[in-house]
């Protein structure tokens, strides 16, 4: 789809005096997961704070569980102004702002604190600001946690165990390169197709953080969970740029405050599920193993060829500046 951002900008400028306080404006917010997931909790906090700040000016209408389609479709809806807001993973974000893909590099972040510090610091905020050039406005970085592999074929300890494994990846070239380098057989796929593809055996496995595995009940369609923590999974709260440009400064400040608090709620949810999720999934019958430090190192060295590509795309110095960020 070709989008003329000059037309969208003109539409935004036309409405630049802000949405009138007397008329209620609907804000459709789409996200891929259920209302009781980390996305649902964040969207509800967003609504609560926005209401507290602006009264009845905005009516937040939730479309959970991919009710507006896959993440890429929803983001395109924001660009053309048919959807106002979304919370998405970094899955397809690099297709809109290529620099975002740097955060999808496996084994980049030491832990959640490291990732949060980078995303909230100058590197993350510079990349967030680039969404204004593509018909979007990034309000804040959120997160899902570290991604782990689930599958129905076998327990995973070494790269040999993923050899030829039909694993669904997000539509994300950085992830795809890593799974190809490991020797798996990755299939990029939009999220709404994943559960039925697992049920039908079109794919053997998928990878997602505990937040997703628990809230989607992936245990119902997957036997093995390997705590690989192979990559951090950022999320983003985005609004439509044409919509954003129609807000006045007070309204913009309210949206920013609501987004900040939504992210605090999302991260608190992730902190909790990182502590409790493994037990929950064991109770639900999954066979769980955690990669030891040596096993993790083996996976990391299996993707050296993918790293060469990452350095070429993002620059080794830039990647190192993230790895070494304190």
The residues that touch ligand PAF, with contacts defined as CB under 6 A, are: 32-33, 71, 88-89, 91, 144, 170, 191, 208, 212, 233
Q: Which is nearer to ligand PAF, 43 or 170 (CB)?
A: 170
Residue 21 CB, nearest distance to ligand PAF (Å)?
Answer: 34
Q: Do strands 136-151 and 58-63 pair parallel, antiparallel, or not at all (unpaired)? A: unpaired
Supply φ then ψ for residue 228, to 5 degrees: -90, -30
DSSP per-residue codes, 72-130: HHHHHHHHHTS--EEEEESTTGGGTSGGGGGGGSTT--SSHHHHHHHHHSHHHHHHHHG
Nearer to ligand PAF, 83 or 88 (CB): 88
DSSP-derived secondary structure letter, 162: G
Residue 314 CB, nearest distance to ligand PAF (Å)? 21
User: 86 vs 240, which CB is nearer to ligand PAF?
Assistant: 86
Q: Provide, rounded to whole angstroms, the least separation between the CB of residue 221 and ligand PAF.
A: 14
Q: Which is nearer to ligand PAF, 12 or 229 (CB)?
A: 229
Cβ closest to ligand PAF, residue 174 vs residue 254: 174
Cα separation of 118 and 246, whole Å? 30
Q: Residues 16, 220: contact at Cβ < 8 Å? A: no
Closest contact distance (angstroms) between CB of 207 and ligand PAF is 8
Min dist CB 171 to ligand PAF, Å, is: 8
Nearer to ligand PAF, 12 or 186 (CB): 186
Q: In terms of Cα–Cα distance, which of 227, 182, 192, 188 is closest to 208?
A: 227
Give 134 or 195: the residue with its C-beta nearer to ligand PAF.
195
- Four-residue CA torsion sign, 103, 108, 113, 117: negative
* Shortest Å distance, C-beta 194 to ligand PAF: 7
> Considering the complex, what minimum distance in angstroms separates the CB of residue 67 from ligand PAF?
13
Helix (H), strand (E) counts: the chain: 13, 9
Q: Token pair 């020797």 is at which residue?
A: 183
Of 151, 140, 261, 130, nearest in space to 204 by CA: 151
Q: What minimum distance in Å lies between the beta carbon of 298 and ligand PAF? A: 24
Give the whole-angstrom CA distance, residue 128 versus residue 136: 10
Which residues pair with residue 172 across a beta bridge?
Answer: none
Nearest position to ligand PAF, beta carbon: 89
140 vs 254 by CB, closer to ligand PAF: 140
Name the 3-class secondary structure at 1. coil
């Amino acid at each position: 789809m070709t989008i003329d951002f000059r037309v969208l900008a003109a539409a935004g400028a036309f409405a630049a005096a802000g949405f009138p306080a007397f008329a209620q404006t609907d804000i459709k917010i789409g996200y891929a997961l259920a209302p009781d997931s980390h996305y649902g909790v964040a969207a509800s906090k967003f609504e609560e704070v926005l209401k507290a700040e602006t009264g009845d000016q905005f009516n937040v209408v939730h479309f959970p569980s991919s009710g507006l389609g896959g993440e890429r479709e929803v983001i395109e809806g924001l660009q053309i102004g048919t959807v106002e807001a979304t919370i998405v993973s970094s899955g397809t974000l690099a297709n809109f702002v290529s620099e975002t893909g740097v955060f999808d590099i496996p084994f980049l972040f030491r832990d959640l604190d490291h990732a949060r510090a980078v995303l909230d610091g100058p590197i993350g905020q510079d990349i967030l600001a680039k969404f204004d050039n593509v018909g979007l406005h990034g309000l804040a970085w959120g997160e899902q946690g570290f991604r782990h592999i689930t599958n129905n074929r076998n327990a995973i300890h070494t790269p040999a165990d993923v050899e030829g494994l039909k694993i669904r990846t997000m539509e994300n070239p950085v992830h795809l390169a890593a799974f190809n380098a490991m020797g798996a057989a990755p299939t990029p796929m939009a999220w709404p197709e994943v559960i039925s593809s697992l049920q039908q055996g079109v794919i053997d496995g998928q990878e997602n953080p505990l937040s997703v595995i628990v809230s989607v009940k992936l245990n119902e369609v997957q036997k093995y969970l390997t705590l690989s923590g192979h990559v951090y999974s950022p999320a983003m709260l985005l609004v439509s740029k044409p919509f954003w440009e129609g807000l006045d400064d007070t309204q913009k400040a309210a949206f920013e405050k609501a987004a900040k608090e939504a992210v605090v709620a999302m991260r608190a949810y992730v902190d909790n599920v990182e502590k409790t999720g493994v037990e929950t999934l064991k109770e639900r019958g999954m066979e769980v193993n955690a990669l030891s430090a040596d096993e993790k190192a083996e996976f990391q060295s299996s993707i050296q060829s993918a790293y060469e590509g990452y350095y070429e795309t993002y620059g080794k110095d830039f990647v190192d500046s993230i790895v070494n960020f304190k």
